[in-house]
Amino acid sequence: MGAKTELLVFADADIADALRRCEACDPAAAEALVRRLAPGWDVELADGEVLGEATYPPADTVYALSIPGLDLVCGLRFLRGGASSLPEHVLAEGVGRRVVYHRMHSGTDSVELALWDDEALVRAIGIDGVNGVVEDVGDPLPFEAPFWAGEHPHEPEKFIVDAGPSPFPTPFHPLDFGNEAVRALFGFIVEGRRLPGDVDPSTVHLQGFRVTDPEAPTLAERQARMRESAVPMTLTSYRMEKAPDGRILMIPGLSSTWPTTSDPGEPGTPPHHRRSRSVPSTASTPLIAGSARPMVRATPPNLVSYHGDCS
């Protein structure tokens, strides 16, 4: 799963109904909202985006919507605090309203959400893929019951040969829980198949803003620091072939030195560099995809890219 969210909503009534009725975003009202939530930060107008593509914006980007009865913000890197510890000026924005906070990241298999009614915390739950529940305040919301009852188990062995049992300490995948929370709280889903009653997030348009801390290093400065601190890495190419039993073989190919003078995210960098992920470069025999053999991060990290098809 690749679901990521940074969502904050202030609502006078049902959020899903407000999104269904949304016809257009008021750029001026959206900008005023962002400036109130990020005091002292530089705010500049930027391109907009639909809600379905805006739930986890790039660095320094915020998407916002302000319509009667609903204020919505995607991109919360300007916040100091979250979930049950939202800043006072953010909670003040929700006086007499419902405030819903949702953060989810597939890189850590983590999700945190909080629900406030008129500045009173009703529910806060935080889960990560290693430690399980890290915060649990208030009574579970109705959508949670089937998950805690074991009705949505994570069973990787159904899809991957020799995958073994679920690695998560919760009786479900945290991202499944987080995705269903988006549906229950906001009326749409981040990934998966929409149900007939779900809001279509591709029809809701948000205004974009570039929101930067004037005292922080610029994006270019941060990229330069990353390049300076980079260490030589090894890029190992693998080709994938289908074994007679249907499993996928990943066969090591040639290795090359990872360039330290180029940012992997910059234009012009080979696409397979940007898609690489870490595995040891010491493999000398075919790896079987889905096997129990651990794929651990080497130090310095060695990167692998895949070429070819599985036909």
In contact, 137 and 84? CB cutoff 8 Å? yes
Which is it for the CA torsion 35, 37, 41, 46, positive or negative? Answer: negative
Answer for the pair 63, 77: CB distance below 8 angstroms, yes or no: no
Sign of the C-alpha dihedral computed for residues 17, 22, 25 and 29 taken in this order: negative
The pLDDT assigned to 281 comes to 38
For 11, the token pair is 């609502």
pLDDT per residue as tens, the chain (311 positions): 478 999 999 999 999 999 999 988 899 999 999 999 999 999 999 999 999 999 999 989 999 999 999 999 999 999 988 889 999 999 999 999 999 999 999 999 999 999 999 889 999 999 998 899 999 999 999 999 999 999 999 877 666 666 667 788 899 999 999 999 999 999 999 998 999 999 999 999 999 999 999 988 887 888 888 888 766 556 667 777 777 777 767 777 766 555 544 444 444 444 333 333 333 333 444 444 443 333 333 333 333 333 333 33
**How far apart, in whole angstroms, are the C-alpha atoms of residue 35 and residue 119?**
20
Residue listed under structure tokens 């940007």: 274
Question: What's the rounded Cα separation, in Å, for the pair 103 and 29?
Answer: 24
User: Dihedral, CA atoms, 10, 12, 16, 20, nearest 10 degrees?
Assistant: -110
CB-CB neighbours of 265 under 10 Å = 10
Picking from 219, 235, 215, the residue whose alpha carbon sits closest to that of residue 278 is 235
Alpha helix stretches (DSSP H) within the chain: 15-21, 27-37, 51-54, 88-93, 145-148, 174-186, 219-229, 271-274
Q: Give dist(CA 132, CA 214) in Å, integer.
A: 36
List the domain boundaries for the chain.
Answer: 4-212, 229-307
Q: What is the pLDDT of residue 192?
A: 87
Can you name the residues that pair with 50 across neighbouring β-strands?
A: 205
Whole-model pTM?
0.73
C-alpha span between 184 and 51 (Å, rounded): 16
Q: Which of 83, 81, 88, 76 is nearest to 100 (CA)?
A: 83
291, exposed or middle or buried, with CB in 10 Å at 0-12, 13-18, 19+? middle
Q: How confident is the model at residue 303, as a pLDDT? A: 36
Give all strands (DSSP E) within 213-292, no chain letters: 233-242, 248-258, 277-278, 287-288
Question: Looking at residue 43, what is its pLDDT?
Answer: 97
